[in-house]
Structure 1
Amino acid sequence: MPIYEYRCRNCNATFEMLVRASTTVICPHCGGSSLDKLLSAPIMLSGRTARQAGRTCCGREERCDTPPCSVGETCRHEL
């Protein structure tokens, strides 16, 4: 069962919901049924579980000043 992201046209709330094929989706905030299904970005897993906290090769939120963020498998922040 896929997880879809919706925006309610009544209250403008955005929410995610695990949806079966026959499920009628209603807004959990206002109970409205006038919804837009949003295009969500897919999740990409790289296999580096120890560094998945952030968005960079070293797990930090900010990127390096100049690309590439890493040199080989060594993060430039750790050099």
Structure 2
Amino acid sequence: MPLYEFDCDACGARFEELVPPGATAPCPACGGERVRRVFSRIAEPGLPAGLQGKAAKESNARRGEREAQRKDRFVAERKRERGQGPPGG
């Protein structure tokens, strides 16, 4: 799946998500569904692309938290489907 960059119409956050082409993802900051895909700028030759330093570490930490939350929701849903967990929670 490609990595796309999105802007949230509700809170103005910009974020990246791995989604199928044509799909969107909810805003990780506010949960908003009204997001727009934006086209990232191409880095000039010889210049580092992407986030650097503290910004990169913060972005990676936020992404790690989102992935952990998704995994927890997935595991909980599978347990509910198999009758191993409490309903609705």
Normalising by structure 2, what TM-score? 0.43
Normalising by structure 1, what TM-score? 0.48
